[in-house]
Structure 1
Amino acid sequence: MTSAEPHPTRAQPRKGDVIQIRASSETKALLNRAAALRGQKLSEFMLDSARRQAEETLLDQRVFLLEPDAHAQFLALLDAPAAPSDEVRQHLTRPAPWER
């Protein structure tokens, strides 16, 4: 074994799986500009953006398991307009700051 070869008992750090993607030159230029504005490499920017979008997508998934009566009650609450409070009415009826 030469000094340039890794020691057989030491594990080499894994960089991660490879994700390949094809994009138009316009899209790549757009992504490059955005990455540069954030001070990131293109791959860092893309992975960061994709991860955020994936998290948002997963968080948007909601499952409500309700009995039929509770479901009807829930839908009625969603469909019923909320009654504005006196405080909300005051805010909506007073003149805008630039009109005073």
Structure 2
Amino acid sequence: MVQIPTASPSSAAHSADQKRSINLRIEAGTRQLIDQAAAALGKTRTEFMVESARREATDVLLDQRLFALDDTAFNAFVDALDNPPSAGPKLRALMSRKPGWQD
């Protein structure tokens, strides 16, 4: 199981001295949009951006590493890994090509 680090209120208080800055250059319209969204939620720009970035980062990592299957689907998945189809003509042609960086 993948563990995604999260900040709890108690860990946030202990790590205050470990905070680091991130400087971003963004268009004025994007900054205004972020500010409006943050205000709608009663948050500061920093709170909104950090929470949004953390949520997106977690989603990306989970999409890359975690998926759930029922028993039937899992067995089919394992079977596909254990018994891949034989290489067809397109795969054989691709694998016999010289990579572009070796020209």
Given candidates 6, 18, 22, the residue that maps to 2:21 is 18
Distance 2:66 2:47 in 1: 33
Q: TM-score, structure 1 length as denominator?
A: 0.51
Q: Quote the offset at 1:22 in angstroms.
A: 0.9
Q: Quote the offset at 1:62 in angstroms.
A: 3.2
Distance 2:66 2:56 in 1: 20
Residue ranges of structure 1 left out of the alignment (5+ in a row): 1-12, 76-100
Distance 1:31-1:20 versus aligned 2 partners, 3 A rule: same
RCO comparison, higher one (Cα < 8 Å, 6+): 2
Give the structure with higher Rg (CA): 1
Given candidates 27, 50, 60, the residue that maps to 2:30 is 27
Amino acid in structure 1 at the alignment position of 2:50: L
**Aligned-residue identity in percent:** 38
SS of the residue aligned with 2:29?
Answer: helix
Q: TM-score, structure 2 length as denominator?
A: 0.49
Distance 1:63-1:37 versus aligned 2 partners, 3 A rule: closer
Please, what is the CA RMSD of the aligned residues?
Answer: 3.0
Structure in which a larger fraction of residues adopt helix: 2
Partner of 1:37: 40
Structure 1 stretches of 4+ with a deviation exceeding 3 A read none
Partner of 2:80: 71
Distance 2:49 2:31 in 1: 10
Distance 2:63 2:30 in 1: 26
- How many residues of Structure 1 are paired with residues of Structure 2 in the alignment? 59
Residue ranges of structure 2 left out of the alignment (5+ in a row): 1-15, 68-77, 85-103
Partner of 1:49: 52
